[in-house]
Structure 1
Amino acid sequence: MAFNVTLRQSGRQFQAEPDESVLLAAQRQGVGLPYSCKNGACGSCKGTIVSGEIEQASHSSSALSNDERDRGMALLCCATPKGDLVIDVREVAGIGDIPVKKVPCRVSGLERKATDVAELKLQLPANERLQYLAGQYIEFILKDGKRRSYSMANAPHHEGPVELHVRHMPGGTFTDHVFNAMKERDILRFEGPFGTFFLREDSEKPIVLLASGTGFAPIKAIIEHALFKGLDRPMKLYWGGRCKQDLYMMELAERWVKDVQNFSFVPVLSEPDADDAWTGRMGFVHRAVIEDLPDLSAYQVYACGAPVMVESAHRDFTSYHRLPEGEFYADSFTSGADIVNQV
């Protein structure tokens, strides 16, 4: 017997099977709910159970704390209903019409951008075109059935190969292969697009773009999309890394500053090497935002990268610097460790 799930703000309803997560049920019926990792590691799909009961599967404690559970919050990607539910969660418009499909592809380019970052380019079959929103991601399907997620780094209007930025995680099955064995013309298979991290074009608010490491990839796609659409909203990019090589496309960001009106770029390093001869900003990248913009009440923020950065930015911006909760959009780049260390 299926259970009714009602979204409190809109009154919209859909049905979930007893063994089906709320998120999966919503997606199956074309209802857009926020999500990213889909495995309880990132917290993007967090919502509040207004009435009814759920079974909450194992998840990362950083994605949903015990205090949040006590306040009725849940991760909808791993919450199954035990009866009818009313939930309070932000709906996401604009993703229901884009088909998710499995696609074979050929490696058409593989270039090191830093010692531990590679730009991977994928050529789709001649009769295929990947529809997606700038900021979304795909999942590679590995031979053992496991999956690895990577965001598109180019905007969807781009006619050439799909561009991804891959950071080497030593010991990681997929990234070890990318850095040690992969070659051009290799065949891969992926499914996508996924995710609800994309530019909301119905706003005129100035935009803060916040990236750490390869979190720059979807941010790059969003910027390219905004430029292609001719959006004139002010954009301020903050990109953080440990040392200078972590900002592996800094020249591109600097070019945007010269070529794009109302665009600014703030690179931030936490532990620059002596060889970097760094004279720029230092510390945590989200703290640089706070130093420059202590009042975020009039902004939209798009944050992508390490979970600790995304979580810290969300907490500090919304709790102490007046950013409206509904104006923070994020994609946490969770790893296998984030998935394994669950409660």
Structure 2
Amino acid sequence: KKSPDVMLVKLQLPATEVMQYHAGQYVDFLLRDGSRRSYSMANAPHTLVEGSPAVELHIRHMPGGIFTDHVFGVMKERDIQRIEGPQGSFFLREDSDKPLVFLASGTGFAPIKAILEHMHFKGITRPAVLYWGGRRPQDLYLNDWLQAQLELMPNLSYVPVISDALSEDNWSGRTGFVHQAVLEDMPDLSAHQVYACGAPIVVDSARAAYAKAGLPEDEFYADSFTSAADKV
């Protein structure tokens, strides 16, 4: 458990079946009632250990959500889950050398974490900046991991943005909406490539605002989730 409402879950994959995926893609959990819940894989493919492959998922508790109540309440180690994947087109386009902007809100950081691991592994040195937004500092649940990653990736910079800090948080960093923090620093996005993941309001606001800031429509890659019952 990385914060009061976020859990990191390791999903052990069958040793006999190798899952080929791109960093940034997600898997679907197939629930007994026929519904699905989608979660991004937070570790890059090269991190899978031969013979004992496991993917990392970042699951936020949505009280009243059937699946997350199960994860936070009754799910035990070695419970068997039915999954389908990989899914999605949210992965790094490696045929470009444009500077990168990563925009994450909450657990939307999960697929971006996988992409950052992949970039480091592949020696991709394109300039990259990550803006990660949360309501309170505790929502940036892998801040320590990121600080270590910054040491490994001189091409990466990190801007945490908090929207609803309380006085006891003693927050002295950036405040406001995370997608707007990008524009404050980079009013002209015409030469960039943007990868955004998080709540639809964040992704949709970013898409519209960044187009006005000159970002070509085909250089905005996004993955958004809509509710406890949908994409997370």
Please, what TM-score do these two structures have when normalized by structure 1? Answer: 0.65
Q: 1:90-145, CA deviations, whole angstroms, 9 ceiling, x for partnerless residues? A: xxxxxxxxxxxxxxxxxxxxxx0111000010111221221111111000011111
1:221 Cα deviation from its structure 2 partner:
0.5
Which residue pairs with 1:219 in the alignment? 112
3-state SS in 1 of match to 2:158: strand
1:276 Cα deviation from its structure 2 partner:
1.3
Greater C-alpha radius of gyration = 1
Verify: 1:330 aligned to 2:222, yes or no.
yes
1:259 Cα deviation from its structure 2 partner:
2.4
CA distance in 1, matches of 2:174, 2:150: 17
**Do the aligned partners of residues 121 and 337 (structure 1) sit closer, same or farther apart at CA in structure 2, a change above 3 Å counting?**
closer
Verify: 1:302 aligned to 2:195, yes or no.
yes
Please, what TM-score do these two structures have when normalized by structure 2? Answer: 0.95
**Equivalent position amino acid for 1:238 in 2:** Y
**Equivalent position amino acid for 1:195 in 2:** G
Consecutive unaligned residues of structure 1, counting only runs of 5 or more, are 1-111
**Equivalent position amino acid for 1:332 in 2:** S
3-state SS in 1 of match to 2:45: coil
Verify: 1:232 aligned to 2:121, yes or no.
no
**Equivalent position amino acid for 2:7 in 1:** A
**Do the aligned partners of residues 189 and 333 (structure 1) sit closer, same or farther apart at CA in structure 2, a change above 3 Å counting?**
same
Which residue pairs with 1:128 in the alignment? 17
1:274 Cα deviation from its structure 2 partner:
2.1
Higher relative contact order, chain-length normalized (CA < 8 Å, sep 6+): 2
Q: Give the conservation status (yes or no) of the 8 Å contact 2:27–2:39.
A: yes
1:338 Cα deviation from its structure 2 partner:
7.2
CA distance in 2, matches of 1:264, 1:174: 34
Q: Give the conservation status (yes or no) of the 8 Å contact 2:37–2:229.
A: no
Q: 1:240-298, CA deviations, whole angstroms, 9 ceiling, x for partnerless residues? A: 00001100001111222222111100000000122211000000001100000000011
Percent identity over paired residues: 64
CA distance in 1, matches of 2:171, 2:18: 42
Which residue pairs with 1:312 in the alignment? 205
Cα RMSD after superposing both structures: 1.2
CA distance in 2, matches of 1:174, 1:257: 34
Verify: 1:158 aligned to 2:50, yes or no.
no
Structure number with higher helix proportion: 2
**Equivalent position amino acid for 1:283 in 2:** G
Structure number with higher strand proportion: 1
CA distance in 2, matches of 1:336, 1:246: 17
**Equivalent position amino acid for 1:148 in 2:** R
Q: What is the total number of aligned residue pairs between the two structures?
A: 227
1:186 Cα deviation from its structure 2 partner:
0.8
